[in-house]
Amino acid sequence: MSATTLRGVGIVTLVAAALLGSIYALGRSLLPEQQPRSSAVTAGADAPRYADQAPGADDTPGPTAGTPGPTADSSPSASAREQLPAGDGEGPFGSLTTTGSSRIALTFDDGPDPQYTPQVLALLRNYGVKATFCVVGENVQSHPELVQAIVAEGHTLCNHSWDHDESLGQRSSATIRADLLRTNEAIRAAVPGAPIAYFRQPGGNWTQPVVSVCRGLGMAPLHWAVDPSDWQAPGATRITSVVMNETGPGSIVLMHDAGGDRAGTVEALRRLLPELMARYQLEALPADAT
């Protein structure tokens, strides 16, 4: 083949290749654009975010920086409380706030106290009224004769912790149990065989662990419906007014016979008893609550 012929074939080949390239580029431009693949997952505006997705077994998020994680003694959060099983009552964590009848129950916390408990007992005796005394273990140990008087006069006993620890419910179940058992032992040392049917958490700071422990020990969690805040010593008139205005059929009324100056409570009780008895029947909570 001559040189001239070879040159002609090369030119034709180059022209053909150029034409094929142009046709290919034109065809690509007419196809829909493809999105590039990526190993990263990017959520769109309407796609679920990570926080909205249920974590799997290996991707449970931990506490964020600056937020403490749960501890053995921590109390349940508000959202956790809503999921906890209810007890028999209508108070926090199923605690009792009513007597379950039309009768009302007077309860006295923080004793026994050598100055004020005998005055409360005398007034109740004069009116023939039975009540419920929520006693503190260390006070029971110091004044067993007053616990004996409470039981001898037909009143009901309630465990109110060893030393009125308002944070008791936030402690471990073992710590809670030891506290309640220690208090029960002090009560039984003073009045062997006396039933202890109730536990009242100091400050009303209930948690599921403290309710579980007290129920496990055969005690019902005892809350209240009427609180005149007499522990703040607002005076007899204020205490009387709150109790009379807020008490209704079945109310459990909270007052104190110890823990400070309770002269106002004693005077309020003196005024309240005839008024309450004119409207309601008063009772001690039953000793076989659980």
* Rounded Cα–Cα distance for residues 60 and 57 (Å): 7
Catalytic position from the list 109, 110, 179, 257: 109
Residue 222 bridge partners (DSSP) = 96
Catalytic position from the list 223, 230, 256, 257: 256
C-beta separation of 200 from 220 below 8 A? no
* Rounded Cα–Cα distance for residues 204 and 92 (Å): 8
Angle between helices 208-216 and 173-190 (to 10 degrees): 40
Which two tokens mark 194? 């006396």
Nearest CA-CA partner of 117 in 219, 269, 241: 269
Q: 109 catalytic, yes or no?
A: yes
* Rounded Cα–Cα distance for residues 246 and 71 (Å): 39
Nearest CA-CA partner of 279 in 254, 243, 255: 243
Place of tokens 């579980």: 212
Q: 257 catalytic, yes or no?
A: no
Active-site residues: which are they?
109, 256
